[in-house]
Amino acid sequence: MSQEETCRFDAAQVHEQIVAILRAWGMPDESAAATATVLVDTDLSGIDSHGVSMLMLYEKLRSENRVRLDAVPRVVRDAPAFAVVDAGAGLGHPAGLHALELAIQKATVCGIGAVAVGNSHHLGALGYYVRTAAQRGLVSLMMTTTRTPVVAALGGTTPILGTNPIAFAAPRAGGGELVVDMSTSVVAMNKVKAYALSGRDLPAGWVNDALGNPVTDAALAYSLLTTGEGTLSPLGGSSPETGGHKGFGLSLMVTVLSAAFSGAALPLDDAGSDNLGHFVLVIDPASVAEGGETARYVDDLLRLMMRDEPDVILPGDPEAVARASRGQNGIPIPESLLEHLRAICGRAGTGMILTPLG
């Protein structure tokens, strides 16, 4: 299968397009702008699976009355260093940003702050959230449950867990951040969708059908995942010999931290709303270490990794390179996705304003 040709678009215009669609769907201006910022930054970072293409899922959730786009997150339990937020069955981006800011406020006072979120939906790639905290000199950890069961328990064959991602970030001395952002499955489900939209085949081992056979046709694989007829491998693969038990264990940890405190859904819950759970932890290094000591340690650690090894790729490096390139040259969007966006704009009653660069 050949890779589809793409056009490139200015990030500010992509942001404007997303805001126009979200506002037409009834999302308040501030929430629409914040959501668009997360999506565009994700596309700029080269994570095409979680950027503007997510509007396809969000429209589906809206058409099924599963999401409240006018929802306003609210604190339902509060303590000096911990809180629980109800997202009001809205999209996760406003709730995730609200939780992050609340955790930062608590960390400023207590040295550490944790916030759990329930009754939420998809909140995009986690790297954006933790990276913005690191840019403010803070260490942060964030994780979330996900909507579609696509990963079997180790030794099982039934899709029961989501991709359940986890992200971590810490500031470096002199600027920059260490950012670790990953799913606890071998790959995110939306990356399979991105491969399908761009006409690329999947590597063997990402997706298996119900009989355990590898599926490399991305469109077929995505269809199987959405209908429960296929599974993603856990991080490490499908057997203990390759470390699959570690990815399975991490996914269970993410589920507990993200959902148990906030009353979010168990796997396979079939209620009318997704009721996803998120968890964010923020640490203010200044509360336990002298000014800049933690950031210097992180910087020394990363420099050590690269000593006499110029080809080492640090976590977050590919995304930083993509942001520099796409910030200058534009965000690539394949024609198949543009067709979906035109249709979404038509159904929303808003104009398609995206114009290719050059």
What is the pLDDT, as a whole number, of residue 139? 98
Judged by DSSP in three states, 308 sits in coil
* Distance in angstroms (rounded) separating the CA atoms of residues 262 and 264: 5
* Distance in angstroms (rounded) separating the CA atoms of residues 128 and 151: 25
pLDDT at 2 over 50: no
- Mean pLDDT, residues 13-40: 97
What is the pLDDT, as a whole number, of residue 4? 56
pLDDT in tens, 232-258: 989 988 778 888 899 999 999 999 999
Domains contained in the chain, CATH given: 1-64+316-358 (1.10.1530.10), 74-186+233-315 (3.30.1370.60)
pLDDT in tens, 80-106: 999 999 999 999 999 999 999 999 999
Percent of the chain with pLDDT over 70: 99
Encode 253-284: b = buried (16+ Cβ within 10 Å), e = exposed: ebbebbbebbebbebeeeeebbbbbbbbbbbb
pLDDT at 292 over 60: yes
Q: Which two tokens stand for residue 185?
A: 């499955």
